[in-house]
Amino acid sequence: MIAALALRIVIVVSGLIGLLIGEHRIAYYTCQSNLITLGYFGGVIYWMLRRRTAEPAAPRLRGAVTLWIVITGLISHFLLQNGENPLPGLAVADPGLRVTNWSLFLVHYVVPVLVFTDWVAFGPRRVSPWRDLWLWILFPLAYGVTSVVRAILIPTYPDRYPYFFLDPTSHGYGWVAGQFGQLAVIFGVLGAALLGIDRLAARITDRRDRPQPAEDREDAPSAVVR
């Protein structure tokens, strides 16, 4: 329980600091996914302390939260930063830019990695059935659809197109629809990978906890020689 509790406290503290020291607008998926992560793991910490248990509250929601924040990290690194190393930006000379880079590093890298680590390291296992995968990917896709619809209905909205792959200005709505299709496949694969990791970890745990046959135990009595 102590290890799980400590990791989840670090998740909440990292996300909270990342959001507070930088400028994060609610229109962005990064902000929304980090707020959801903070809310969920804050509730989990309260539940663990109140019930004195290592089991998190709403365990089926944990898989969805994990996928949503992992998506934040991967989209930021590969689509928005083009795979560039974020570490040099943490030591730039400009104090204001350095704080901004630390804020982005916490919400784009630290929190997703810690939440993924929590998923791999701690249970409960096999809580989310495979059919939950379709529910998991609804939020990121709904976020994208809502952003596009909002841009059409409110053209003067400050963050009209939060991300380039939602912007039809240059390539049209057909291109945006294609981006949605590709992302839906990617999100589905990521969710399936998380469920697969969960099942694999469950099998490893079951095998480790399974009682050994008497003849394989070191304390088993030696065979009688006749």
The per-residue pLDDT for 212 is 59
Return the closest-CA partner of residue 183 out of 104, 72, 85, 28: 72
Quick one: pLDDT at residue 129? 94
Q: Which residue bears the tokens 């009682």? A: 211
Ranges of the chain with pLDDT below 50 = 223-226
If residue 200 lies in a helix (H) or strand (E), which one and from where to where?
helix 173-209
Q: Quick one: residue 99, left, alpha or beta (phi over 0 = left, psi -120 to 50 = alpha)?
A: alpha
Task: Give the pLDDT score at 213.
Answer: 60
Give pLDDT, residue 56.
Answer: 79
**CA gap 23, 27 in Å, rounded:** 12
**Where in the chain are the domains?**
2-207
pLDDT at 219: 54
